[in-house]
Structure 1
Amino acid sequence: MSKQYTDEEIRQQVTNFYDNIAVGKTSTEVNSIDLYKSLGYDPKLLEKIPEEVSSGLSCGNPLDNLVLKDTDTLLDLGCGMGLDVFMARITYPNSNTIYGMDRLESMIQKASKVRDKKGFKNIEFVQGELIDMPFEDNSIDKIISNCVINLEPNKQKVYQEIHRILKPNGMFIISDITLKKQLNDDILSLDNIYGS
């Protein structure tokens, strides 16, 4: 029988795994650029992205369906080191503020350092939880998420938060993974199953 983890234990496993990536203790062992190209990212834009944010953590390309007007604010949920934030800013240099939110201080620090070093403007990185986002009601025009919501056990609360902070007629673009069937007990009994 598989071990039953609490929501907090799952969150801690996820935190440990991604924190180790942010500080360079582990990696995804994939060629990040090849992965991004296979997901439909524009190769010419990828050349403009700072190498230090290329971690291979994406499972899709939410930017493929994104259009930003100059007045639009954008929020990237679980932004990690900021890949999609930087790609959006390069694509839409005149849009309103682009926010990247991540639960990990290490990811926010790394993304902020790259932003400052490379001189990206009108980008803010904030630490926050998917189930308690640090944004006012009806404050964001568009939200993207790339392979993040699957990591949060309380998905209903995530979607409630998205609904709360999106402006009327706002847009949410998600790229994520789901299970077609329950994982077997051999897989579920692995240590750190939620953080790998």
Structure 2
Amino acid sequence: MREDVQDYYGRQLQGTQDLQTNACCDQAPPGWLKPILASLHDEVLSHYYGCGLVAPQLLEGARILDLGSGSGRDCYVLSKLVGAQGEVVGVDMTPEQLAIARRHQEYHREAFGHARSNVRFLEGYIEQLDELDLEDDYFDIVISNCVINLSPDKEKVLSEVQRVLKPGGEFYFSDVYADRRIPAHLKEDPVLYGECLSGALYWNDFENLARKTGFTDPRLVEDRPLTIENEAIEARLAPARFFSATYRLFKLPELEPHCEDYGQAVIYQGTIPGEEAVCRLDKHHHIERGRVFPVCGNTWMMLADTRFAEHFRFIGDFSTHFGIFEGCGTALPFGDPESGTEAASGSCC
């Protein structure tokens, strides 16, 4: 299937207009991102096939790895956000996409006012990072945008991300997920696979795989339903439903399998740029400035043992356990506008 994916993205697709569904179409960018996108080269933008926004908070000076970097759009956005002291490395297996990305390195260096380019691109497979001489415990953040579903070995991808992340670092990525397991025969269809649909993981299989590879408490940041907008393809995949979702997975080995209550709380200082009023850790943790906000032990560690620490005050410790937070469920975490139901809480504090 690798060869089919390379052919699809390297030769068949000449731009976003050639996509047959909306699975690989980006959502409207937030206002703060629009000026950066406007500064990118047109060729980089026209060959972008992502499905979400992969720019978490607090990026200045960070080392970032982009898995499946394609034409380089996200790498160049992050190049601007990390600044001259940061570093962005893109990995992609498609020579045609890499050629576009590399062709415009100098253009973006000048556009961002950097003395030297802080971006580099490597050709390789995202499940074989060990063959690219990427160091253990090196990156602050790993991102990916609608690419993991295309990998034939998703467990190896997550294991390699775990290896290259620094302790306290995070994997922040968007991808396509299904509400059920996709039949094997559909995974053999190069168009369905190339459109990021038949290779999509069932959401619960993904969360279990994340835990298996050391990311004990995957946190959903945002999600939206995908409508596909191609009747023939939709009919072949029915009744499966698909979602674009952004997750963050922290490399914190002490995280527990469930949300445990130790009577802890945090107070947000209001010092994260762009989130002065509310820090949005994930879909269920919007932490207002100055408010005493009760948290489980896992959320405490995600804030205290990462780059977020200096932006919070911490109340309590782990000396007394009060049991599990109620509502720590395992239902479908994505919202379902068809039935009018809200997403079940994937965490409970």
TM-score by length of 2: 0.47
Whichever residue aligns with residue 122 of structure 2, its letter is V
Q: Distance in 2 between matches of 1:189 and 1:145?
A: 23
Are residue 101 (structure 1) and residue 82 (structure 2) matched? no
**Is this contact kept in 1: 2:84–2:118, CA < 8 A?**
no
Deviation at 1:99, TM superposition (A): 0.7
Return the alpha-carbon distance in structure 2 between the equivalents of residues 189 and 152 of structure 1.
Answer: 13
Structure 2 matches for 1:95-134, cutoff 5 A? 95-119=85-109, 121-133=117-129, 134=132
Q: Which runs of 5+ in 2 are unaligned?
A: 20-24, 111-116, 196-349
Which residue does the alignment assign to 1:14? 5
Aligned to 1:143: 142
Over 3 Å counting, the alpha-carbon distance change for 1:190 and 1:152 in structure 2 is closer
When the two structures are aligned, how many residues end up with a matched partner? 179
Aligned to 2:53: 61
Q: Which residue in 1 is equivalent to 2:69?
A: 79
Higher strand share: 2
Go from structure 1 to structure 2 and tell me whether the alpha carbon gap of 1:69 and 1:118 turns closer, same or farther (over 3 Å shift).
Answer: closer
Contact map agreement 1:139 1:167 (CA 8 A) in 2: yes
Larger gyration radius, structure 1 or structure 2:
2
Q: Distance in 2 between matches of 1:38 and 1:83?
A: 15
More helix by share: 1
1:179 aligns with 2:178: yes
Contact 1:68 1:95 in 2 (8 A): no
Cα distance change of structure 1 residues 103 and 66 upon mapping to structure 2, 3 Å threshold: farther
Q: What displacement does 1:191 show?
A: 5.0
Task: Provide the residue aligned with 1:5 in structure 2.
Answer: none
Q: Which runs of 4+ in 1 moved over 6 A?
A: none
CA distance in 2, matches of 1:56, 1:112: 14
Question: RCO higher in 1 or 2 (8 Å CA, sep ≥ 6)?
Answer: 1
Question: Does the aligned pair in 2 maintain the 1:30–1:56 contact within 8 Å?
Answer: no
1:66 and 1:165 mapped to 2: Cα distance?
20
Assess, with a 3 A threshold, how the Cα gap between structure 1 residues 51 and 138 changes in structure 2: closer, same or farther.
same
Contact 1:73 1:95 in 2 (8 A): no
CA drift of 1:20 comes to: 1.4
Identity of aligned residues (%): 27
Contact 1:132 1:161 in 2 (8 A): yes
Letter in 2 for 1:20: R
Residue by residue over 1:105-143, the C-alpha shift from the partner in whole angstroms, topping out at 9 and shown as x without a partner, is: 222221111113443511111112111112111121111
> 5+ residue gaps in structure 1?
1-9
Q: Residue 96 of structure 2 aligns to a residue in which SS? A: helix
For residue 186 of structure 1, report the CA deviation from its aligned partner.
8.6
CA contact (8 A) 2:79 2:87 kept: no
Aligned position for 1:157: 156
Cα-to-partner distance string for 1:79-126 (whole Å, 9 max, x where unaligned): 001101111112232332211111122222211111134435111111
Aligned twin of 1:6: none
